[in-house]
Structure 1
Amino acid sequence: MSRVRLIARLDVKAPNLIKGIHLEGLRKIGDPNEFARRYYEQGADEILYMDIVASLYQRNSLLDIVERTTRDVFVPITVGGGIRSTEDARAAFRAGADKVAINTAAIHRPELISEMARSFGSQAMVLSIEAKRHAHAAGWEAFTDNGREHTGRDVVEWAKRGVELGCGEILLTSVDQEGTRAGFDIDLVKAVSTAVPVPVIASGGMGSAEHLIDVVKSGCADAVAMADILHYGRSDLASIRKATANAGIDVRIVE
């Protein structure tokens, strides 16, 4: 397994950093730029910005946030939410993003994944999947609109299709676990990570460093996105990194 990345996830409803449970009941946390700078100083490997509204005005505001962040933060930044075209992606890159994540637009027009990959490279194209476990059947369904809109797509099959079309990474968010602090959906992460050859970022449910260790060792996650545990000061990246390294997982050493 390659070196595991620790990613700080910031969900934004411009101009505020917000947090919810199951992607609902959103609460304002503060200035996203201040939090991003704090996490960078703590040693985050990457910053992930997700615009949870994705309207035109909020999307522009998010790009302003990214531009400000890149003045003080010098790790890769991924931007998601409201990226509907290669033009939107190009605007995100101009603002300082290193990668873009798409969900709804890819569901509606899968060939957009290929267009993005051809234009910017697969390494810059992240397929964002919001997954919910089926209530009365095995497996998971992909959702859009913060876990509210059904797509009818099986998560594992959609992930495989996304890779075939050119995505270089998958951001896999468990809507069921998101904001609960109860741990990741390890079965979900393992099902996707063993089905595709690209890195999988586990997101949704981290309440302790042990949850990160579990999803890496049992779920085969290549990276972990964390939000609540950082935003509310339940732990910090230095402590999480130390616990992860002590568990025998290869992480970047931060001096």
Structure 2
Amino acid sequence: MLTKRIIPCLDIKNGRTVKGVNFVDLRDAGDPVELAKQYAELGADELVFLDISATLERRKTQHEMVLKVAEHVNIPFTVGGGISSIKDVDDLLLCGADKISINSSAVKRPELINELSNKFGSQCIVVAIDAKKIENEWYVHLAGGSIPTNLKLFDWAREVEQRGAGEILFTSMTNDGTKLGFANEALRQLSTLINIPIIASGGAGTIQHFVDAFIDGNADAALAASVFHFGEINITDLKQELKENKIEVRL
């Protein structure tokens, strides 16, 4: 059985880690490199860095930050934000990233997933999907959740897999920052539709929420931000609790 992964997420804006609720009301959470080092030492399996304003500001992800993180951590990390070409990915991998995450650029030009997967291998390509539940249907949103689309979550997830993505990072905008739990019903439905790993994101507030995401949502990994950044959940304690609930994790 594959072990389940715990992934702290660092949303980066102006060189700092930030966190909000439902993608708004951002507050400072610290230096991304220092947080990355701390999480690696505590037993995080991977890290995700999202330059959340890169797409809106029409600029590329900050390479200096990626280089610094690569110098200080020894666990895999994924970088996203403003990535729209083979060259963008080449540059980030050369800076030390292990995987890249694309979101808005993939929706605008789905062929990008094929191109990147063919060039770098599917294991390197994570497609992030930000979706909000509107009248009982999940719709994909772009540019840090600021632009709604008519694209439906489950249709897009199937297409993403077919085009060669190695993993999906599904963030429920409805649950994000609420600390009321992950969108387990949507997660479970996704897991029955696709065969690539699914990272659950949005809504973590307690250790039990992680247990539920793995058991009820059938997620392969669980990602969270504020509960880690502000010391509400310790990763070491979280993994011990998961183990006690017979969920396979790397200790």
- The normalised TM-score by structure 1 is 0.95
Match of 1:245 in 2: 243
- Counterparts in 2 of 1:35-184, with a 5 A limit? 35-54=35-54, 59-61=60-62, 63-134=63-134, 136=135, 138-184=136-182
Q: Secondary structure at the match of 2:72?
A: coil
User: Does the 8 Å contact 2:180/2:205 carry over to 1?
Assistant: yes
Separation (CA, whole Å) in 2 of partners of 1:86 and 1:58: 15
What does the per-residue CA deviation read over 1:64-103, in whole Å, with 9 as the maximum and x for residues that have no partner? 1111111120111100111111111111101111111101
Specify every segment of 5 or more residues in structure 2 that has no aligned partner in the other structure, as ranges: none
- Counterparts in 2 of 1:14-33, with a 5 A limit? 14-33=14-33
Separation (CA, whole Å) in 2 of partners of 1:228 and 1:221: 20
Q: Please tell me the residue identity of whatever aligns with 2:10.
A: L
Q: Secondary structure at the match of 1:2?
A: coil
Match of 1:223 in 2: 221
Specify every segment of 5 or more residues in structure 1 that has no aligned partner in the other structure, as ranges: none
User: Does the 8 Å contact 1:130/1:172 carry over to 2?
Assistant: yes
Q: Please tell me the residue identity of whatever aligns with 2:22.
A: H
Shift of residue 191, structure 1, vs aligned partner: 1.4
Separation (CA, whole Å) in 2 of partners of 1:59 and 1:14: 13
Shift of residue 13, structure 1, vs aligned partner: 0.5
CA shift in 2, pair 1:204/1:60, >3 Å: closer
Q: Please tell me the residue identity of whatever aligns with 1:146.
A: G
Match of 1:12 in 2: 12
Runs of 4+ in 1 over 6 A off after TM superposition: none
- The normalised TM-score by structure 2 is 0.97
Separation (CA, whole Å) in 1 of partners of 2:236 and 2:60: 31
Separation (CA, whole Å) in 2 of partners of 1:67 and 1:58: 18
Q: Please tell me the residue identity of whatever aligns with 1:150.
A: P
Q: Secondary structure at the match of 2:78?
A: strand
Separation (CA, whole Å) in 2 of partners of 1:191 and 1:60: 32
What does the per-residue CA deviation read over 1:130-153, in whole Å, with 9 as the maximum and x for residues that have no partner? 01002x2x3301111222211211
Separation (CA, whole Å) in 2 of partners of 1:188 and 1:81: 24
Separation (CA, whole Å) in 2 of partners of 1:112 and 1:214: 34
Separation (CA, whole Å) in 1 of partners of 2:78 and 2:93: 9
CA shift in 2, pair 1:112/1:58, >3 Å: closer
Q: Please tell me the residue identity of whatever aligns with 1:70.
A: A
Separation (CA, whole Å) in 2 of partners of 1:57 and 1:151: 19
CA shift in 2, pair 1:141/1:60, >3 Å: closer
Q: Secondary structure at the match of 1:194?
A: helix
Separation (CA, whole Å) in 2 of partners of 1:153 and 1:85: 22
| Identity %, equivalent residues | 37
Shift of residue 57, structure 1, vs aligned partner: 8.4
Q: Secondary structure at the match of 1:82?
A: coil
Q: Please tell me the residue identity of whatever aligns with 1:116.
A: L
RMSD: 1.3
Q: How many residues align?
A: 250
Q: Secondary structure at the match of 1:229?
A: helix
Shift of residue 212, structure 1, vs aligned partner: 0.4
Shift of residue 60, structure 1, vs aligned partner: 4.4
Shift of residue 14, structure 1, vs aligned partner: 2.7
